[in-house]
Amino acid sequence: MKVVVTGGGGFVGGAICRRLRQLGHDVTALGRRPHPDLTAEGIRTAVQDLAAADAETGLTAIFAGVDCVFHTAAHVKMWGPRETFVRGNITATHNVIAACRAAGVARLVFTSSPSVVAADRDLRGVDESQPYPSRYRALYPETKAAAERAVLAAHGTGLQTIALRPHLIFGPGDTNLVPTILRRARAGRLVQVGDGLNLVDLTFIDDCVTAHLLAAAALDEREAAGGRAFFISQGTPVRLWEWIGRVLALHGLPPVRRRMSASTALRVATVAEGLWRTLGLASDPPLTRFLAEEMATDHYFDIAAARRELGFVPSCDVWQATEQSFGQP
């Protein structure tokens, strides 16, 4: 199978590229810059800005003869100009869809996020019937939801599409979740928000990759899977702050001592966002409303549909994956 992975140099995209290469597929990692490390592993690389004015033309050439595109590239930030999120998540995705059609690509697997249904309340065991909210606290989930809707709407004759919503991906090679936790902890800036009892889902990178490959296969084998989104996780929600404590311990760091109520955190975040917006600051605020809510609320999801339609079975629970990722050999 000939495959292109957008965002192939990233955490999820790189892991998908490596798994596909190990399985003997012809893989191209597509990104904004070359990745010599992937080239050294026998993975072809291509350079293209997905949101550029000529992106559709460039992508169509890259997608020629390709059987499946995994679209993992995204602008993942908590703060920034709207136009940057629109370009990185919406414009880029529309260009990928158009190029798939122009090049005759049969399958498109999109890496979405559970944040597309995030609301300012707990999400406890919700399934894919959970609607998109009427408003969003942040630009990332708002633009990611628009991209997901575009991908699912594109499903039909000639191009089959599917979207996956893996939650809080971690494991070897992680460049975002755990590194951010460790960086804040080492700087003395990690603060527990809420009572510490909130339950969350997490997704081990190995199982995230497996889900993507199963999704691509399902587009050939299970007609009912096409044009749909699926939640992906280990299927075993854990207390967020207990898990963070274990991650810190495995890295030789002390537990979190500082605490802030959810209501206080939301007020602080509201003030911070207002100040950053007024001053036009390019840096990230110390806290945003979306992040404050994510750290204090329950957000775990029913993965029954992924089990049933994709054949997805997590290889282990969150605690086993955590020990496997960060424990001593």
User: Measured between alpha carbons, how far is 266 from 131 in angstroms, rounded to an integer?
Assistant: 24
**What HEC string does 207-245 produce?**
HHHHHHHHHHHHHHHCHHHCCCEEEECCCCCEEHHHHHH
User: Among 132, 136, 140, 300, which one carries the catalytic annotation?
Assistant: 140
Bridge partner list, 160? 107
- 3-state helix vs strand vs coil in the chain, percent to 5: 45, 15, 40
CA–CA gap between residue 151 and residue 228 (Å, rounded): 9
Residues 110 and 161: beta-carbon distance below 8 Å: yes
DSSP secondary structure string for all residues of 102-137: HHT--EEEEE--GGGG--SS-EEEE-TTPPPPSS-S
Q: Known catalytic residue: 132? A: no
Task: List residues with catalytic annotation.
Answer: 140
